[in-house]
């Protein structure tokens, strides 16, 4: 089971994409709000016990001085995926990216692209798939779909010509 957490409900429009892709890949998940700065006790409790509740990996999204993913990673033995969010109080997203990515030796956060909650979901699935053939084949099928989506588009583009192509 994957746990998806975020620092604020303003992150939900981005973070729910992680939930959507996990649902599509048929992988169980939970989703809630845990703020490192506003609810540090809850964050501690959550991070220290997640692995005891059957969670296999954690997806944590935050923006600005984004400490949630790193702090959870310091408290849990589980792999933590960090989603830097370009929130309204962020300087073009650089603060979100750097304060999640640049963790010190010993405490990694698996960082994905700015706002890339969808990729966080896929990565969580791949982590399960690392030792689970069934999940891995679902990922392979998902990638196949991506390729087919592109194929449909280039066939259409080559047929109608770029001047008449409508997305």
Q: What part of residues 92-151 is at the interface with a copy of itself (CB under 8 A)?
A: 92-95, 97-116, 118-120, 122-123, 126-132, 136-137, 139-140, 142-143, 146-147, 149-151
Interface residue with a copy of itself, options 38, 45, 49, 160 (CB under 8 A): 38
> Long-range contacts for 153-161 (Cβ within 8 Å, ≥24 apart)?
none
d(CA 44, CA 46): 5
d(CA 44, CA 34): 10
Interface residue with a copy of itself, options 3, 53, 67, 164 (CB under 8 A): 67
**Minimum separation from the CB atom of position 53 to a copy of itself (A):** 14
Q: Does residue 160 interact with a copy of itself by CB under 8 A? A: no
**Residues binding a copy of itself: what is the number (CB under 8 A)?**
94
Residue 62 contacts residue 39 (beta carbons within 8 Å): no
Q: How many CA atoms lie within 13 A of 62 on its CB side?
A: 27
């Amino acid at each position: 089971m994957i746990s998806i957490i975020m620092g604020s409900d303003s992150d939900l429009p981005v973070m729910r994409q992680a939930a959507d892709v996990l649902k599509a890949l048929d992988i169980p998940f939970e989703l809630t709000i845990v703020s490192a700065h506003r609810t540090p006790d809850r964050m501690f409790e959550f991070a220290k016990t997640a692995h005891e509740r059957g969670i296999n990996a954690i997806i944590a999204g935050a923006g600005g001085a984004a400490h949630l993913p790193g702090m959870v990673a310091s408290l849990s033995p589980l792999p933590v995926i960090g989603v830097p969010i370009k929130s309204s109080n962020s300087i073009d997203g650089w603060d979100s990216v750097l304060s999640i990515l640049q963790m010190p030796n010993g405490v990694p956060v698996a960082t994905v692209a700015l706002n890339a909650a969808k990729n966080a979901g896929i990565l969580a699935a791949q982590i399960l798939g690392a030792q689970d053939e069934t999940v891995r084949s679902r990922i392979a099928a998902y990638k196949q779909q991506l390729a087919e989506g592109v194929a449909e588009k280039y066939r259409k583009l080559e047929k109608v010509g770029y001047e008449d192509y409508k997305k």
